[in-house]
Chains A and B, each alone.
Chain A
């Protein structure tokens, strides 16, 4: 699946998007997997309460299943307007 990062999450991880091959069942499982990869992921995902997630461009929850999802995005709370 494609994993996208925005704002300071993108800056901490260092790329705007990447392709991730995973068998993670939920968003939380995916986060755990990414945290284990490298320090920059651990830094970006240190505090999940500071993050939001969208699955296929719809706001979702960290316990949401990833079954059939093509695009996951992580970002801080939005500041439009």
Chain B
């Protein structure tokens, strides 16, 4: 299991390869990547991601450990960036490995649902005109936790 909270970009291919290469006895590897989306085309200049150093790593570790035990995963990876990101840049990725794909998919969704609402990150959208808005948490994201 590896958790990385970093400012630097990550190589999706290299991270996926390294993750898959370290797995034994797993028939399924699932990866998910989150990308900075420009919701109203051309309006977004940057996304600033703030986090709580110390708590972030603890929270992500606890979430990943829970996923590892619920789905008997062979391994799990969470990479989440902070700092200033441009549209199209990768924000984060999760990877899960399990004997069968159902467990790998479900665990990846679980990781995503929890790190959206239970890991201390906050996003701020910097718009082309210079104004900035904190992204509000969505009720749907909180509701998504209830299914687990």
Instruction: Name A's B-contacting residues (CB within 8 A).
Output: 4, 6-8, 54, 57-59, 73, 75-81
Residues of B in contact with A (beta carbons under 8 Å apart): 34, 50, 52, 54-55, 58-59, 80, 91-92, 112, 115-124, 134-137, 142
Whether A76 contacts B115 in the complex (CB less than 8 A), given A7-B50, A8-B134, comes out as no
A18 to chain B, nearest CB (A): 16
Q: Are A73 and B80 within 8 A (Cβ)?
A: no
Partner of B123, one of A58, A59, A73, A79: A79
Evaluate whether A6 and B137 lie within 8 angstroms (CB atoms) in the complex, with A54-B52, A80-B80, A81-B91 already known.
no
Interface contacts beyond A6-B50, A7-B122, A57-B52: sample of 20 additional A-B pairs, CB < 8 Å, sorted by A: A6-B120, A7-B124, A7-B134, A8-B134, A58-B55, A59-B118, A73-B120, A75-B52, A76-B136, A77-B136, A77-B137, A77-B142, A78-B117, A78-B119, A78-B120, A78-B122, A80-B117, A80-B120, A81-B34, A81-B91
Q: How far apart are B139's CB and chain A's nearest CB, in angstroms?
A: 10
**Who on chain A is nearest to B119 by CB?**
A80
Chain B residues with CB under 8 A of A4: 52
Majority DSSP secondary structure for residues of B touching A: mixed
Q: How far is the CA of A50 from the CA of B15 in the complex (A)?
A: 36
A47 to B142 CA separation, bound complex (whole angstroms):
19
Q: Do residues B58 and A76 form an inter-chain contact, with CB atoms below 8 A?
A: no
- B115 partner residues in chain A, CB cutoff 8 A: 80-81
Contacts of B134 in A (CB 8 A): 7-8, 76, 79
Q: Hey, which chain B residues are within 8 Å of A79, CB to CB?
A: 116, 121-123, 134-137
Instruction: Determine how close the nearest CB of chain A comes to the CB of B13; give it in whole angstroms.
Output: 21
CA distance A80 to B52 in the complex (A): 12
Chain B residues contacting A81 (CB-CB under 8 Å) are: 34, 91-92, 112, 115-116, 121
Complex: chain A residue closest to B49, CB-CB: A80
Q: Give the nearest-CB partner of A73 in chain B.
A: B52
Q: Is the CB of B116 within 8 A of A76?
A: no
* Structural contact, A54 and B120, CB atoms closer than 8 A: yes
A78 with B137, Cβ < 8 A, contacts A4-B52, A73-B52 known: yes
